[in-house]
Amino acid sequence: IVKDNGMLRVDTEDQDPGKSSGVIKVVCSMVEDLDQFVQVPHNSIDVLVSEWMGYCLMYESMLSSVLFARDKWLKPGGAILPDTATI
């Protein structure tokens, strides 16, 4: 999970290490800076989920970040959600 707007908070101090599967890691960063925190193999992601659409599909759009993640990590045939929008 990559989140850069400060809205995501996770308390990791009280977690039991035996309960973690090691599959999910929370990183508070722009997706373009993810390599500074964790190594994700190229073409290894099945699904990208993002709130990339700005209001009216134009303003504050994060499409460039989603395309960056798609090109770097999405497996061939993988999905980006949401993938359609209507104005």
What tokens does 53 get? 């659409």
- Told to judge if 51 belongs to the known catalytic residues of this protein, a careful annotator would answer yes
3-state secondary structure of 30: coil
Tell me how far apart the alpha carbons of residues 73 and 51 are, in angstroms, rounded to a whole number.
17
- From 35, 46, 60, 71, the catalytic residue: 60
CB 27 within 8 A of CB 37: yes
- From 33, 35, 51, 71, the catalytic residue: 51
The residues that are catalytic are 51, 60
